[in-house]
């Protein structure tokens, strides 16, 4: 009604989580590969929210980039990191990365 679209609770939660993670300093980032061990894909960087996208920047490059509304965020039990799963705009594939962070950059 009146041209206003409703935003689902899931999308609101994703946007809130992305905003909370924005600016966190990354110690290292690991990629979760199917049927294999996790591998380190970057060190020293930041989590960035920009123009509806969520960016994992490490080792002086983007290692993961996705649309926030289509990305799942799951904090680690230790609260020292987050598992980010979604369609990676860089590779065009579904990926899961684990960013271990310290605090705000």
Query: Following DSSP, what letter does each residue of the chain receive, concatenated?
Result: -TTPPPPPHHHHHHHHHHHHHTTEEEEEEEE--TTS--EEEEEEEEEEEETTEEEEEETTEEEEEEEGGG-EEEE-TTSSEEEEEEE-TTTSSEEEEEEEEEEE-
Please answer whether residues 66 and 54 qualify as being in contact, where contact means their C-beta atoms are separated by less than 8 angstroms.
yes
91 part of a folded domain: yes
83 part of a folded domain: yes
17 part of a folded domain: no
- pLDDT value at position 32? 82
33 part of a folded domain: yes
State the total domains in the chain: 1
Domain extent, residue 72, equals: 23-104
Q: Which stretches of the chain drop beneath a pLDDT of 70?
A: 1-5, 103-105
Output the pTM of the full model.
0.88
57 part of a folded domain: yes
Q: What's the chain's average pLDDT?
A: 91
68 part of a folded domain: yes
3 part of a folded domain: no
96 part of a folded domain: yes
């Amino acid at each position: 009604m009146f041209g206003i679209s409703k935003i689902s609770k899931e999308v609101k939660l994703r946007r809130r989580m992305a905003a909370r993670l924005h600016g966190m300093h990354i110690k290292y980032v690991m990629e979760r590969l199917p049927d294999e061990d996790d591998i380190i894909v970057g060190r020293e960087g930041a989590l960035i929210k920009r123009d509806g996208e969520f960016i994992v920047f490490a080792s002086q490059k983007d290692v993961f980039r996705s649309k926030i509304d289509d990305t799942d965020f799951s904090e680690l039990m230790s609260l020292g990191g987050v598992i980010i799963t979604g369609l990676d705009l860089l590779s065009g594939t579904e990926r899961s990365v684990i960013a271990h962070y310290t605090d705000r950059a």
